[in-house]
Chains A and B, each alone.
Chain A
Amino acid sequence: MTASQPFIEVRQARKCYGEIEVLKDISLTVDRGQIVAIIGPSGSGKSTLLRAINDLDPLTAGEVWLDGVRVNKTLPHRQYEKHINQMRQHIGMVFQHFNLFPHLTVRDNVTMAPKLLKGISDKEADRLAEEQLAHVGMLERIDYFPSQLSGGQKQRVAIARALAMKPKLMLFDEATSALDPELVEEVNLVMKKLAEEHMTMIIVTHEMDFAASVCDRVIFMDGGVVVEEGPPELVFRNPTQDRTRNFLRKHLEGAK
């Protein structure tokens, strides 16, 4: 592996569902500590791309690399399962619908995977849970069940759960889309905090303001291809492509 190799690289990614091609030959790189927003209309393939990075939706063709290791290696089934479980420990993911485990308390949601996969002791696990929950401002709810939390609180716990695995990279799949408007800000604040700590993040979002204020780079996708990418001030202020302009205009109208 050469030193110049990017932290994350997607090479010629293609994804087909039967006849329909949802990702058409996508390549992109992300540097360590970079924060990238992926925007685009629904059905543009942005979520599929995100979910291909940790192989939740396996690619039809193409490669995904993280820190010099190929994520979607070609291996016999059993070895591949082992490999991908290893890789996923380094890739945190936050879902639109939180997907907290309802049968576990907040504490156990955060510590279940580290205990099971890293074999840490109960004491260490408790410390880890307290540390991570304090980080997202949810320490006082440590012994609650998810059903007792608001949407914003659930999402903050979900972020803590992902962070407890000490990932190298965080993926956010429309993390605030399912929230009531007044609850969006608390989650955005946590994400901003992570950005300030230089966590590498890839964020699929509908919130242009948030993308503009937090991200280093914006990728606009449409119809399974990357139409335009660059720093937010360029993509948002001076898009070069008509499709980008149309999308942003429609989105702005929709927001009003």
Chain B
Amino acid sequence: MGLDFSVVPKFFDILLLGAFWTIAITVSSAILSFFGGIVFAVITLYAPWFIRLPFRAFEWLFMGTPLLLQLFLIYFGLVQIGIDLPAFVAGVIGLGLHFAVYNSELIQTAIIAVDRGQMEAARTLGLSRGQALRKVVIPQAVRDVIPPIGNNMIALLKDSALVSVIGVSELTLSAQRAIGRTYRPFEFYIVVAAFYYVINLGMEAVLRRIERRSQLSR
């Protein structure tokens, strides 16, 4: 059985739609993981112990187990307790929380590294601790970790392929559907890999621009 790419164009619209959903789930999860990362970092650093400790355990579990396993847990676990979420939402929650934990690690380190004088200066002006964190410390911490968070977001794009196993019709699942009708796995997976590669390049370009823009304010 030789290679025959001529079957691919017929499925191009399905693949494009899949690419759209891949981008949609990546962007949604990235946003969730970014803000989730900030919230998690603040909890880890500043919440009282009875919140912090259970939270640490949750983080530990999330960092020590595979994303795929977590997706199964979220998708089937939520059904189990009577919450029947659309696969897309379950996928966003799974990917978003998973990467939020990683982003939180980065943001925590950055918060600690923000010069103590910044907090002092803000407090001297009369800002409360919360206001100083929100207006002065966290914006600087986040700015400092834009490059590594960007790397996480690029990893997120590639891991978004995993949500195909819980039935989100993104690129990978679209390819599997096309393969089911044509029995041409090699051709479709190669084409889909190219799709991912292009999206990946696009994301890298966007991130480089954001990085450059944040250069001045440091």
Contacts and interface: CB of A to CB of B under 8 A. Distances in A.
Most buried by B among A92, A93, A101, A112: A101
Nearest to A148: B216
B218 interface: yes
B127 A117 contact: yes
B125 interface: yes
B124 interface: yes
Interface in A197-232: none
B125 A103 contact: no
Interface in A68-111: 81-82, 85-89, 91-93, 95, 97, 99-104
A206 B122 CA distance: 25
Contact of A103 (B115, B128, B143): B143
B53 interface: no
A93 B124 contact: yes
A145 B124 contact: no
Contacts of A145: 216-217
B140 A95 contact: no
A162 interface: yes
A147 B140 CA distance: 13
A54 B129 CA distance: 15
A101 B128 CA distance: 16
A99 B127 contact: no
Interface in A150-180: 158, 161-162, 165
Given A89-B126, A147-B217, A165-B126, A116 B115 contact: no
A16 interface: no
A99 B217 contact: no
Nearest to A81: B128
Contact of B117 (A95, A117, A147): A95
Nearest to B217: A103
A95 B120 contact: yes
Interface in B101-126: 115, 117-118, 120-126
B203 interface: no
A54 B123 CA distance: 10
B131 interface: yes
A88 B123 contact: yes
B135 interface: yes
B136 interface: yes
Interface string B132-149: 000110011001000000
A56 interface: yes
Nearest to B143: A103
Most buried by A among B125, B128, B131: B125
A97 B120 CA distance: 11
B126 A113 contact: yes
A19 B108 CA distance: 33
Contacts of B136: 101, 103
B125 A104 contact: no
B137 to A, nearest CB: 10
Given A91-B124, A93-B124, A112-B135, A99 B118 contact: yes
Contacts of B126: 85-89, 113, 117, 165
Interface of B: 115, 117-118, 120-129, 131, 135-136, 139-140, 143, 216-218
27 contacts: A56-B124, A81-B128, A81-B129, A85-B127, A86-B126, A87-B126, A88-B123, A89-B126, A91-B124, A95-B121, A97-B117, A99-B115, A99-B118, A99-B120, A99-B121, A101-B122, A102-B218, A113-B122, A116-B135, A145-B216, A145-B217, A147-B217, A147-B218, A148-B216, A162-B124, A162-B125, A165-B125
Given A86-B126, A89-B125, A117-B127, 12 more contacts: A54-B124, A56-B120, A81-B128, A89-B126, A92-B124, A93-B121, A99-B115, A101-B118, A101-B121, A102-B217, A148-B216, A165-B125
3 tightest A-B CB contacts, nearest first: A89-B126, A99-B121, A113-B125
